[in-house]
Amino acid sequence: MKSTAILAFLFLGLSTSLAGAISLQDLAPCRPAAERFCDRSAGMNWTNLMRCSATLVAHSFHIGNSCREVLKRYGQL
């Protein structure tokens, strides 16, 4: 029982720290490039921006420096 509670608190702590690690505001420099190069049929939400990173890397010579820095920071470039 005690170990289950510890595991639950550990999982909760990890999930909240990971959720706070990447915010939509951090990805803001890539939003214009994402609107230009990525699929927008489902709207520009968090999930689509995350799926779009491979497309942005493929077009990295067309995007701005600030977006390239964001892609580098999250290990995409």
Span 7-19, average pLDDT? 47
Q: What DSSP character marks residue 22? A: S
Q: What angle do CA 62, 52, 37 make, to 5 degrees?
A: 40
- What integer best gives the mean pLDDT of the chain? 74
Span 18-40, average pLDDT? 76
Q: What is the pLDDT of residue 4?
A: 56
pTM of the predicted structure, to 2 decimals? 0.61
Band (pLDDT 50/70/90 cuts) for residue 3 is low
**pLDDT at 35 > cutoff 70:** yes
Q: What is the pLDDT of residue 65?
A: 93
d(CA 61, CA 59): 5
**Which two tokens mark 40?**
């927008």
